[in-house]
């Protein structure tokens, strides 16, 4: 069972390519190289250790590498590191992982102090339990960095997964003995690259699905939001498991006031659907993904008016969910309607 997820930084957590390319080109220009480089050549600069990047992308002479590293780090620290942004949905994905009880770490070829400053700049440093990068005084492999993070977390390799966008990240995971998820967003893996034995994610949200597959669909996650009435008993507002969202029944409580909405059963049904939509949003899905709904009515005479509200709520669903509607003797807080749903995550 996965207990920790380790992330590469560049191209995995954040799109830092603009700052990297700027700093790399600035460096070679300072060293007297004037020719133009294609985007494909510049992309080779993302992934490997810094000294190797200058050889792979620019064919720089070994005698110039020490100067290149010094110039690059100075320029990147002053300007390049501010030319970055998190991939869309990444912060929410990290928060979801923390809610699952997973430990998070960064294992990057970036200089460790710089990794921390970048994470702080992006506002996500507090989400990580460990941050490790390369050393200024010794040469390290990605496997070495991953092992340091595992030791810091006190997690065994078989209970950890490395997430990365390059073959260097994959080799590091194999060397350290962890699992691996490759990303195909940003500058990540492309069709044809040989990582068939590993899981892939085409978006930050896809990382959660990949983790579910690695763990055989056994990950259970609590869903909680202040935009819907809080659970007032031994239950969760909803639970995510195996790609599904199982939402507890919602009654017409206004979450802002905690009061029951007055009015007809139809009026109450409108508030119920507001609550349902809020819970589904917190779970990362929406009402168009509902596959089953159960409607509980205090009086079946209210079915027609509630059904109109129900139809409006699902008007954009490509496939209407399966449904049960039952009359019951009484409902919590003596409300007139309660509805529960099951949806795809």
DSSP 321: P
Q: Residues 63, 112: contact at Cβ < 8 Å?
A: no
Burial (CB count within 10 angstroms: exposed 0-12, middle 13-18, buried 19+), residue 241: middle
Burial class for 316, CB neighbours closer than 10 Å (0-12, 13-18, 19+): exposed
The per-residue pLDDT for 282 is 93
pLDDT score for 40: 80
Helices and strands: H and E segment counts in the chain? 11, 14
Contacts of 225 (CB under 8 A, 6+ apart): 237, 278, 279, 281, 282
Closest C-alpha to 253, from 243, 245, 262, 265: 262
Instruction: Give the pair of three-digit tokens for residue 204.
Output: 């930050």
Cβ atoms of 17 and 109 within 8 Å: the answer is no
Q: What is the pLDDT of residue 192?
A: 56
pLDDT given at position 343 = 96
> What gap in Å lies between CA 96 and CA 223, rounded to an integer?
9
Residue 262 backbone class (left: φ over 0; alpha: ψ -120 to 50; beta: rest): beta
Please give the pLDDT value at position 195: 64
Question: Pairing relation of β-strands 4-7 and 103-111?
Answer: parallel
Classify residue 336 as exposed, middle or buried by CB count within 10 Å of its CB (0-12, 13-18, 19+): buried
What the block records as the tokens of 279 is 């819970």
Please tell me the chain's helix, strand, coil percentages from 3-state DSSP, rounded to the nearest 5: 40, 20, 35
SS3 129: coil
Q: Are 187 and 45 in contact (CB under 8 A)?
A: no
Which pTM was predicted? 0.61
Local confidence pLDDT in tens for the 345 residues of the chain: 899 999 999 999 999 889 999 999 999 999 998 888 888 888 888 767 888 889 988 989 899 999 999 999 999 889 988 899 999 999 999 999 998 889 999 999 988 998 999 999 999 999 999 999 988 777 899 999 999 999 999 999 999 999 999 889 999 999 999 999 999 998 888 765 556 667 889 999 999 989 988 887 666 788 999 999 999 899 999 998 877 999 999 999 999 999 999 999 999 999 999 999 999 999 989 999 999 999 999 999 999 999 999 999 999 999 999 999 999 999 999 999 999 999 998
Q: From the centroid of its chain, how far is CA 25?
A: 31
pLDDT at 50: 86
d(Cα 252, Cα 267) in Å, to the nearest integer? 9
- At residue 196, the pLDDT reads 63
Rounded Cα–Cα distance for residues 117 and 81 (Å): 9
């Amino acid at each position: 069972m996965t207990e920790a997820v380790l992330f590469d930084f560049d191209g995995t957590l954040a799109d830092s390519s603009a700052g990297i390319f700027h700093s790399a080109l600035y460096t070679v220009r300072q060293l007297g190289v004037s020719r133009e480089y294609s985007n494909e050549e510049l992309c080779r600069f993302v992934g490997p250790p810094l000294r190797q990047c200058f050889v792979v992308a620019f064919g720089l002479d070994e005698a110039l590498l020490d100067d290149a590293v010094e110039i690059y780090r100075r320029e990147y620290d002053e300007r390049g590191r501010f030319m970055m942004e998190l991939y869309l949905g990444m912060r929410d994905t990290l928060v979801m992982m923390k809610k699952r009880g997973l430990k998070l770490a960064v294992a990057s070829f970036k200089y460790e102090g710089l990794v921390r400053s970048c994470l702080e700049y992006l506002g996500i440093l507090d989400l990580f339990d460990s941050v490790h990068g390369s050393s200024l005084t010794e040469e390290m492999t990605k496997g070495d960095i991953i092992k340091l993070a595992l030791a810091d977390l006190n997690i065994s390799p078989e209970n950890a997964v490395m997430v990365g966008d390059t073959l260097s990240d994959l080799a590091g995971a194999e060397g350290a003995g962890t699992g691996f998820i490759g990303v195909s967003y940003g500058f990540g893996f492309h069709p044809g690259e040989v990582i068939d034995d590993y899981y892939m994610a085409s978006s930050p949200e896809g990382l959660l699905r990949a983790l579910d597959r690695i763990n055989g669909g056994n990950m259970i996650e609590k869903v909680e939001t202040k935009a819907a009435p809080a659970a007032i008993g031994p239950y969760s507002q909803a639970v995510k498991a195996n790609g599904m969202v199982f939402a507890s029944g919602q009654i017409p409580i206004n979450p802002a006031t905690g009061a029951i909405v007055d009015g007809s059963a139809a009026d109450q049904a409108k508030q119920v659907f507001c609550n349902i939509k809020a819970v589904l949003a917190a779970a990362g899905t929406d009402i168009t993904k509902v596959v089953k709904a159960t409607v509980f009515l205090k009086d079946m005479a209210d079915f027609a008016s509630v059904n109109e509200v129900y139809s409006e709520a699902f008007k954009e669903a490509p496939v209407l969910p399966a449904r049960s509607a039952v009359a019951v003797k009484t409902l919590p807080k003596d409300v007139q309607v309660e509805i529960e749903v099951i949806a795809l995550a």
